[in-house]
Chains A and B, each alone.
Chain A
Amino acid sequence: MPSLPPIRPEDVKVAERSHSMGAFDEPEAVEAHPDPLEDAYYQYLLRLGDDALILGQRLGEWCGHAPSVEVDLSLANMALDLIGQATHILGHANNGDGDDLAFKRDVLDFKNCLLVEQPNGDFARTIVRQLLYSTWQHLQFQQLAESPDPFLSAIAAKAVKEVAYHRELAGEWTVRLGDGTEESAARMSDGLDWCWRFVPELFEVDETLEEMIARQTVPDPRGLERDYRAAISDVLGQAKLEVPPDQRPILGGRRGHHGEHLGHLLAVMQYLPRTYPDSVW
């Protein structure tokens, strides 16, 4: 039987502190952010960056599993566009170190909308999710490109071309699958039923966003909702799919309240840097 290592003085110090570790009565004082406007800006960057990161990771899950090698590349290209956007946005939020935000936060600290974390399901559901998100992101980024904030306008102006392509591609597949076979139409309809309840969150305005809108740095998503709904109806009409009835909206992603799926996604995405910290290629 192996003997226990000797008790060192450092161990004694740790043991003396142990009675207060994990206690709830005296939480460590969290230093308030000096500037609430800065805080709203930071939160806004997290939302934009996390949307792109999580959707990019989801699309990456298709790699090697897509219906054909060409579709595999289409999905991987979109994933890389989105991860590129996330790298810039999260990097800007964290003094150039986006990796820290991507890999060292846990579920409750992610501020992505719930739509992007939804599991891929079948190809039809992935396409529905892409159509619903990319259409919103495109409308949003077109306006964000005019922002007086130099970072936001620059990233939006660059990304808007990528996003326009994602929107077009998702639209083309929506029409082909919706107006395809009986089975493809049924799968698209199921995908819509799954994703539709997450649409209202895209137009939700909370305190953080109100502050950013008041500073006139970002568009008010409520002003985009009519165009959004018209654009989605138009594509669904071409696809001979019904616009689903509005369901009870599910909100909370922007405040870190996520579904069960995000933790599983993060477990895969964060495994390597958490297991081998600071490893490099």
Chain B
Amino acid sequence: MSSDWPLWEVFVRSKGGLAHRHVGSVHAPDKELALRHARDTYTRRLEGVSLWVVKSDEIVASDPDEAGPMFEPAEDKIYRHPTFYDIPDVVKHI
């Protein structure tokens, strides 16, 4: 039965957490039940205060075979890290 149902990715924001974090997936026939299944599967031990579910095939993912052109060009660009600047003492928060 559940194999007939689409897969949904589940994201939970924990109490005090700033962002939703991916925790796993559930099968469900539609979005309302996906949310209920996510609640019953992933927040049974007070893990969260907010839930997102996203249909898995709605997620656009990068192709692992394309990882070279996608990510390697960033490897030798250390000047993109903001560590080369002196911060004036008067600046308290940055």
Chain A contacts of B5 at CB under 8 A? 68
In the complex the two chains form, is B44's CB within 8 Å of A70's CB?
no
Chain A contacts of B2 at CB under 8 A? 67-71
Choice from A71, A77, A172 contacting B44 with Cβ under 8 Å = A77
Interface residues of A in 146-171 (CB under 8 A from B): 169
In the complex the two chains form, is B1's CB within 8 Å of A172's CB?
no
Choice from A67, A68, A69, A172 contacting B36 with Cβ under 8 Å = A172
Chain A contacts of B29 at CB under 8 A? 176
| B1-18 Cβ-contact flags toward A at 8 Å (1 or 0) | 110010000000000000
Query: What is the CB-to-nearest-CB distance from A31 to chain B, in angstroms, rounded to a whole number?
Result: 45
Interface size of B by CB at 8 A reads 15
| Chain B residue at smallest Cβ distance from A78 | B40
| Chain A residue at smallest Cβ distance from B3 | A68
In the complex the two chains form, is B40's CB within 8 Å of A68's CB?
no
State A68–B7 Cα separation when bound (angstroms): 13
Chain A contacts of B26 at CB under 8 A? 70
Query: What is the CB-to-nearest-CB distance from A144 to chain B, in angstroms, rounded to a whole number?
Result: 25
Interface residue SS majority, chain A: helix
Chain A contacts of B1 at CB under 8 A? 67-68
Choice from B27, B32, B40, B41 contacting A172 with Cβ under 8 Å = B32
Contacts A68-B27, A70-B2, A70-B27 given; does A176 touch B33 at CB 8 Å: yes
Interface size of A by CB at 8 A reads 11
Query: What is the CB-to-nearest-CB distance from B31 to chain A, in angstroms, rounded to a whole number?
Result: 11
Interface residues of A in 55-91 (CB under 8 A from B): 67-71, 73-74, 77
State A115–B36 Cα separation when bound (angstroms): 25
| A31-71 Cβ-contact flags toward B at 8 Å (1 or 0) | 00000000000000000000000000000000000011111
Q: Is B37 interfacial (CB-CB < 8 Å)?
A: yes
| Chain A residue at smallest Cβ distance from B1 | A67
Chain A contacts of B33 at CB under 8 A? 172, 176
Chain B contacts of A69 at CB under 8 A? 2, 41
Chain A contacts of B41 at CB under 8 A? 69-70, 73
Chain A contacts of B27 at CB under 8 A? 68, 70
Query: What is the CB-to-nearest-CB distance from A126 to chain B, in angstroms, rounded to a whole number?
Result: 14
In the complex the two chains form, is B36's CB within 8 Å of A74's CB?
yes
State A132–B29 Cα separation when bound (angstroms): 23
Interface core residue of A67, A73, A77, A172 (most chain B CB under 10 Å): A73
State A252–B90 Cα separation when bound (angstroms): 81
Interface core residue of A70, A73, A169, A176 (most chain B CB under 10 Å): A70
Residues of A within 8 A of B (CB): 67-71, 73-74, 77, 169, 172, 176
